[in-house]
Amino acid sequence: MKEYEVFVAGEWVDTTVGFSSIVDPATGNEVSKVPALTAKHVDAAVQAAQQALVESRWSTDAALRADVMLRWANQVASNVDTLAERLTLENGKLLGEAKFEIGHQVNVIRFNAGLARTVSGRSHSLGPDVMGVVVREPMGVVAVISPWNWPITLMVRDLAPALAAGNAVLCKPASQTAGVSVEFLKLLVECEGLPKGIVSMLTGSGRKVGQLMVEHPGIDMIAFTGDGSTGKQISRDAADTVKKIALELGGKSPFVLCADADMEKAIATLVRAIFTTTSGQICTAPSRLLVEASAMQDVCQRLSQAIAGLKIGSGLDPESQMGAITTRDQYEKVLSFIDRGKKEATLVAGGEPVEGVDHDVCNFIAPTIFTDVDPKSPLMQEEIFGPVLTVQPFETDEEAIKLANDTPFGLASAVFTQNLDRAWRLSRGIKAGTVWVNTYNRFYAETEVGGYKESGIGRMAGFEGLNEFTQTKHINFDSTV
């Protein structure tokens, strides 16, 4: 059990202000205690951030920002194992995935540290005596509000470019994984050169601390990753103070599997992406498999074989191939979708509790597959966020595109085929921010991610990801007499 202090407006705050506890979803044991902050802390953080932007060189000195961020990346690189263990304890994911999650941030932070020195504008000759200079400036004070499923990845995805662009950032991590988030941020706030107040950690519930941030007139931008309904509420609440918002929300991603695909690779990739990676609790999870009808039977058989005998258990056990569902609420939500599926569709695999575990305290759910699902059923239209896959047949590419686009979401997708023309046609037809061809869940610091339709507003990562945290200003010089 670890008790955390958080860094607010340049001061450490401990749990005497009140706290929330974090429970290991694989055992039910309390593992972390984190301060539950109040409006007073939010105000102090905003004020310190505004002051730091005025009094320090942070927003104008790109080399300073790059240096601080490179120091931070080195600190992260030296602490991967300790941070990964805490991440698994709080989230329930496999330790290998946790190490990947932490380790990958070194690359993301270094990429953004490099980008910091590329922020630039342009100039236009607008007449013999007129010059327009367009400068790119930071937004100001940015709130980064993040979820629990990939808590470090999704915090850094906004925090690193926001800092690189010269903003001050107030991080509000998800309560369920706040301990590891605070431990990760400690490595940043202790970096030499970071002006006091530029980064604060605002732990506490979303409804209280999160909402206070969204409504705060001193905050200029909200970068939010999380559930669609929370995102819509944030859009409404942020409208009163006309804040810029970037939203990365849920998904119901289609995996289009053509009969000519390399089936072995396709099935292994799919099982990894919807079941063993974070037990399906990942926004890009390919929860809808669309299979060319002629391959339907073969694919269902292969899938059932691939998941039979998968070892589900504690993320810290090296034998485990799939970890726990992170929260009790999420566990119950997934089970209610499975119950519904059993009534209205055909259960192909799973759907039963995992044997040999105490279901009163441990959140384990077996990989579950349904066919014959009504396309308009919540099973097919809503994000389940767990290890549940629906399978639908298609006859033509046009039908595949229609089915792929038949939900309110448009976050990610995949096309598996060995025919390049088909891959191109299908990729262009699918309305989603990412289409992976013969692969899945490949993320790079260089390439943007984001949602079509109800999956979000704005783009994160890559060059657009940095620009998202800036605004332009036209300075006009007119020396006409």
Which residues have CB under 8 Å from 426's CB, separation 6+? 256, 397, 400, 401, 404, 415, 417, 435
Alpha helices in 147-262 (DSSP H): 151-164, 178-189, 211-215, 228-239
What is the DSSP-derived secondary structure letter of residue 179? Answer: H
283 counts as catalytic: yes
Least spacing, CB of residue 90 vs ligand NAD, in Å: 13
Burial group, residue 421, by CB count within 10 angstroms (0-12, 13-18, 19+): exposed
Cα separation of 466 and 462, whole Å? Answer: 7
Judged by CB under 6 A, the number of residues near ligand NAD is 31
Name the 3-class secondary structure at 312: strand
Residue span binding ligand NAD (CB under 6 A) among the ranges 21-29, 103-111, 245-253, 468-476: 245-253
Decide: is 249 part of the binding site for ligand NAD (CB under 6 A): yes
Least spacing, CB of residue 238 vs ligand NAD, in Å: 9
- Point out which residues pair with 12 in neighbouring strands: 7
Strands (E), 282-344: 288-292
**Site residues for ligand NAD, window 358-397 (CB under 6 A)?**
383, 385
Answer whether 93's CB lies under 8 Å from 278's CB. yes
**Neighbour order of strands in the sheet with 19-23:** 2-3, 30-35, 19-23
Residue span binding ligand NAD (CB under 6 A) among the ranges 75-83, 179-187, 195-203, 243-251: 243-251
Decide: is 456 part of the binding site for ligand NAD (CB under 6 A): yes
365: tokens are 């759910």
Residue from 88, 105, 211, 417 touching ligand NAD (CB under 6 A): that is 211
Residue 472 half-sphere exposure, CB side, CA atoms within 13 Å? 10
Cα separation of 31 and 21, whole Å? Answer: 8
Least spacing, CB of residue 425 vs ligand NAD, in Å: 26
Least spacing, CB of residue 465 vs ligand NAD, in Å: 12
Residue from 201, 234, 338, 445 touching ligand NAD (CB under 6 A): that is 234
91: tokens are 């989230």
Residue span binding ligand NAD (CB under 6 A) among the ranges 24-32, 67-75, 128-136, 146-154: 146-154
Least spacing, CB of residue 181 vs ligand NAD, in Å: 9
Decide: is 22 part of the binding site for ligand NAD (CB under 6 A): no
248 counts as catalytic: yes
Residue span binding ligand NAD (CB under 6 A) among the ranges 172-180, 266-274, 289-297, 345-353: 172-180
Answer whether 119's CB lies under 8 Å from 113's CB. no
Decide: is 250 part of the binding site for ligand NAD (CB under 6 A): yes
Cα separation of 309 and 354, whole Å? Answer: 11
Place of tokens 């485990």: 320
Query: H/E element holding 25?
Result: none
Cα separation of 257 and 296, whole Å? Answer: 10
Least spacing, CB of residue 450 vs ligand NAD, in Å: 8
Least spacing, CB of residue 319 vs ligand NAD, in Å: 27
Decide: is 147 part of the binding site for ligand NAD (CB under 6 A): yes
**Site residues for ligand NAD, window 212-231 (CB under 6 A)?**
214, 225-227, 230
237 CB neighbour count, 10 Å cutoff? 17
Decide: is 207 part of the binding site for ligand NAD (CB under 6 A): yes
Decide: is 409 part of the binding site for ligand NAD (CB under 6 A): no
Cα separation of 58 and 65, whole Å? Answer: 7
Residue from 76, 174, 219, 289 touching ligand NAD (CB under 6 A): that is 174
Considering the complex, state which of residue 150 and residue 331 has its C-beta at the smaller distance from ligand NAD. Answer: 150
Decide: is 248 part of the binding site for ligand NAD (CB under 6 A): yes
Least spacing, CB of residue 291 vs ligand NAD, in Å: 24
What is the DSSP-derived secondary structure letter of residue 449? Answer: B
Name the 3-class secondary structure at 365: strand
Decide: is 175 part of the binding site for ligand NAD (CB under 6 A): yes
Name the 3-class secondary structure at 434: coil
Considering the complex, state which of residue 255 and residue 385 has its C-beta at the smaller distance from ligand NAD. Answer: 385
Considering the complex, state which of residue 210 and residue 313 has its C-beta at the smaller distance from ligand NAD. Answer: 210
What is the DSSP-derived secondary structure letter of residue 195? Answer: P
373: tokens are 């699902």
Active-site residue, selected from the candidate residues 283, 292, 300, 383:
283
Active site residues: 248, 283
Residues lying near ligand NAD in the complex (CB under 6 A) are found at 145-150, 154, 172, 174-175, 206-207, 210-211, 214, 225-227, 230, 233-234, 248-251, 283, 383, 385, 411, 451, 456
